[in-house]
A and B are shown apart, each in its own frame.
Chain A
Amino acid sequence: MKTFVFIEHYNEEITPISREALGAARTILDGEVIALVFGSDAEEVAEKAFAYGADQVLACDDDSLDDFRVEAVGPLVAELANEYEPDVILMGASVTGRDLSAWIGYDLDAGVIPDVVDFTLDGDTIKALHPVYASKLMSTAFVTGGTQIITLRSRAFQAIEPDEDADGDIEWVDAVADDDAVKAEIEGLAVSEGGVSLTDASIIVSGGRGVGGPEGFEPVRKLANVLGGALGASRAAVDAGWIPYEHQVGQTGKTVSPDLYIACGISGAIQHQAGMRTSKVIVAINKDAEAPIFKLANYGVVADLFKIVPALSAEFSKRLS
């Protein structure tokens, strides 16, 4: 199997989801792993792609590719796919991966399976698990012929341990899109305040209506910080204006699957569950022993979150110091 992996990078680092895609290509798909690395940092990033499992890199350092614009990147990936004929094209199910997979799926008339959480190989066909109906059902989909384009859900696959001595061939290619064909002009980027991104986080501490107001998020945020995790929220808390939407977990928020999800003052409505039910270990802290979240949780504490959450922060600060 010949596999293309599209690499997203930021500040010369390969993003976690692209390292996971390289890992999936290396360990599950047997064969040649060709990483596509575009933009003016291509050379530095290519070295890292080898460390994370690429055999070869197709690189293009045209500055039209610097900030991902699908009108510039899509035609180049499609052209390279026509030339190298990969069996599989993998990328993250990020904003970038979603745009790029749809673009090249259309142009190559190839099957696209988005947001895959697991896959196996049946001969040369990938049987890919894609949650549908907000994870209430699972679809085992496959591409019926031609190139198989798969986007991977964040944290569903593992990156390999980087091998700093790994090396390979970098082949430099030219950009293909005409200036006139790239119509979108990027005028600026307001980088979101640091902190751990929800979808990449291995620990998430979330607050719901039970926190009672914007100040009620403080102990929850503190616990997230102590654990080096990200801050999540239910829609009720977001709709009340206590915390920005980017923190919302659920069917109309983000889908997450951390190792540890701590729900504080969240009842566990079906739409909230849709975003977090695949977490490895779930802890629920809620005053109401009948709250549906306890049907999902591995550990439960029936108590006032304003007593338990600060005590947890103190306990973990002690043990982690």
Chain B
Amino acid sequence: MKVVVCTKQTPSTTATFTVNNGVVSWDDPGGKPNVVNPWDEYAIEEAIRLKENHGAEAAIALTAGGESADDVLKTALAMGCTEAIRVEDAGFAGSGSRGTANILAAAIKKTGADIAFFGKQAIDGDTGLTPVMAARALGWTPLTYVSAIKSVSDDSITVERQIETGTQTVTAPLPVVISVVKEINEPRYPSFMGIRKASRATIPVWSAADLDIEGAYGPGSAKVDWSEITQPPSRDTVVEFISGDSAEEIAAALATKLFEEKVI
């Protein structure tokens, strides 16, 4: 069993955004504009646990992105991933979900992994399409929204998934693509030693020439135009404070307002 985890660099959750002529830029007053996509932290943690507790031979972190994305790989290494790989090529720009899935799938294949972890979605585009699309590109079984791994061996895995009606238990033979949700674990903080080791790591970069990419990628492959991005009008509400001499009086006044709003 060999595990790879796909992670994306995204703006931090407190970043503030501006749009100029359709170009999005962001800043974080806290000084941390880019982070590991928060949903991917759970995927990284679970990959490391398979290595530590279930004898996986490696937990490899993988990202598609520019040089700055090395930061997310260093975080993954500092947490305990055994290797990290970045894929980048001038031809990858503008790939869309399907193109990105084709690129990641080729890299996953090259690692020789048979379990590929993903986050549930990336908080920039909020699309959540990549895991199942990568599973299609690989021809592997997708198991999405996984909240627990019940058992895993060299040839099969049993997981719990969070679906609308409840918690579903599913078994599938390896290889599989797994996307995880928050319930699955509590991601660890990188250790001091881990951070030191990761800061010295050199991260290999694979380009299109190093990969055997099947299927389309790059600008021509995208089927959705996302270029029109706007700042939503701010919620133009002025709060109406309800006050009164007693809790009962306030409750009665508020109830009257809410009946007038016709929301009850």
Contact = CB atoms under 8 A, between A and B. Distances in A.
Interface of A: 8, 10, 15, 67-68, 70-71, 94-96, 98-99, 101-103, 105-107, 109-115, 130-146, 183-192, 197, 202-203, 227, 245-246, 251-252, 259-260, 270-271, 274, 277, 280-284, 294-303, 307-308, 310-312, 314-316, 319-320
A269 to B, nearest CB: 9
Contacts of B17: 133, 136-137
B133 A139 contact: no
B170 interface: yes
Contacts of B21: none
Contact of A185 (B101, B171, B246): B171
Nearest to B18: A137
Contacts of A251: 13, 38, 123
A105 B98 CA distance: 8
Contacts of A188: 168-169
A308 B252 CA distance: 10
Contacts of A277: 235
DSSP majority for the B interface? mixed
A142 B132 CA distance: 21
Contacts of B129: 98, 101-102, 105, 112, 114
B182 interface: yes
Contacts of A132: 124-126, 229
8 contacts: A110-B223, A139-B230, A186-B170, A271-B13, A281-B258, A298-B240, A301-B254, A303-B247
B31 interface: no
Interface stretch (B55-63, B79-87, B142-150, B202-210): B142-150
A283 B127 CA distance: 30
Nearest to B249: A311
A303 B237 contact: no
Interface string B226-256: 1011111001010111110011101110110
Contacts of A106: 98, 101, 132-133, 136-137
Given A132-B124, A252-B39, A270 B145 contact: no
Contacts of A284: 239
A189 B136 contact: no
Contacts of B263: 202-203, 259-260, 280-281
Contacts of A197: 164
B165 A183 contact: no
A7 to B, nearest CB: 14
Contacts of B224: 111-113, 141-144
A29 B255 CA distance: 38
B97 interface: yes
Nearest to A92: B164
Contact of B13 (A190, A270, A320): A270
Interface in B162-205: 162-173, 182-183
Nearest to A320: B264
A30 B222 CA distance: 27
Nearest to A274: B13
Given A102-B131, A137-B229, A137-B231, 10 more contacts: A102-B133, A132-B126, A133-B17, A146-B223, A183-B172, A189-B165, A190-B167, A259-B263, A296-B237, A303-B247
A184, A187, A190, A259 — which one has the most chain B CB atoms within 10 A of its CB? A184
Contact of A303 (B169, B226, B250): B250
Minimum-distance CB pairs A-B, first 8:
A111-B223, A102-B132, A311-B251, A311-B247, A106-B136, A260-B263, A315-B251, A111-B224
A190 B166 contact: yes
A280 B261 CA distance: 10
A101 B224 CA distance: 14
Nearest to A297: B239
Contacts of A297: 237, 239
B228 A141 contact: yes
Contacts of B164: 8, 15, 94-96, 197
B239 A144 contact: no
A307 to B, nearest CB: 4
Contacts of B145: 95
Given A105-B129, A105-B133, A296-B237, A312 B229 contact: no
Contacts of A303: 247, 250
Interface in B21-57: 24, 26, 38-39
Nearest to B127: A114
A202 B264 CA distance: 9
A236 to B, nearest CB: 14
Contact of A137 (B13, B183, B230, B251): B230
A143 B125 CA distance: 16
B170 A185 contact: yes
Contacts of A107: 136
Contact of A70 (B14, B132, B137): B132
